[in-house]
Amino acid sequence: MRPRNWLLVVLLIPFAAVLWPPLYAHPKPTILGMPMFIWYQFAWAIITAVLTIVVYALQERGEAASTERDDAR
């Protein structure tokens, strides 16, 4: 797991994206009548789900690879 720890930095992205409202608290542009303030946060709910799944998958792969290396030794 150690060599893949940099992956955890990816998990900080959602924090930066949603904890700074000046970034997205705007009435426009609208989607389906929804102001940016609302659709932006919905978008990040989806993006965060994708990010956590990707990080999980890469970590699993990293762990599998490192066990293989250990086995080869």
Partner 1 sequence: MHADEILIFAAFGLVVTGIGFFAARWQRGDLDLIEEWGLAGRRFGTVVTWFLLGGDLYTAYTFVAVPALVFGSGALGLFALPYTIIVYPLVFVVMPKLWQVARDHGHVTAADYVKDRFDSRGLALLIAITGIVATMPYIALQILGIAVVIQVLGINIEAALLIAFLALAVFTYVSGLRAPALIALVKDAMIWITVLVAIVVIPAKLGGFPAIFAKVPASKLNLPPALFAGYSTLALGSALALFLYPHAITGTFASKSQRVIKRNSAFLPAYSFLLGLIALFGYMAIAAGIKPVAPYGANSAVPLLIQFAFPTWFAGFALAAIAIGALVPASVMSIAAANLFTRNIWTEYVRPHATPREESQVSKIVSLLVKVGAVGFILIPGLTKYAITLQLAGGVWILQTLPAVFLALYVRRLDRWAVGLGWLAGMVSGTYWLVANGFSSSLTAYPIGGAAGTKMYIGLVAFAINLVVVVAGSAIAIATRGREARPERTMA
Q: Indicate whether 19 belongs to the interface with partner 1 (CB under 8 A).
A: yes
Nearest to 36 by CA among 23, 26, 46: 26
By the rule CB under 8 A, 29 interacts with partner 1: no
Total binding residues toward partner 1, as defined by CB under 8 A: 33
Tell me: does residue 61 bind partner 1 (CB under 8 A).
no
| 62 near partner 1 (CB under 8 A) | no
Handedness of CA 20, 22, 26, 29 (dihedral sign): negative
- H/E stretch holding 1 reads none
Of 25, 18, 26, whose CA–CA distance to 51 is shortest?
Answer: 18
Residues that bind partner 1 (CB under 8 A): 8, 11-12, 14-15, 18-22, 25-27, 30, 32-35, 37-38, 41-42, 44-46, 48-49, 51-53, 55-56, 59
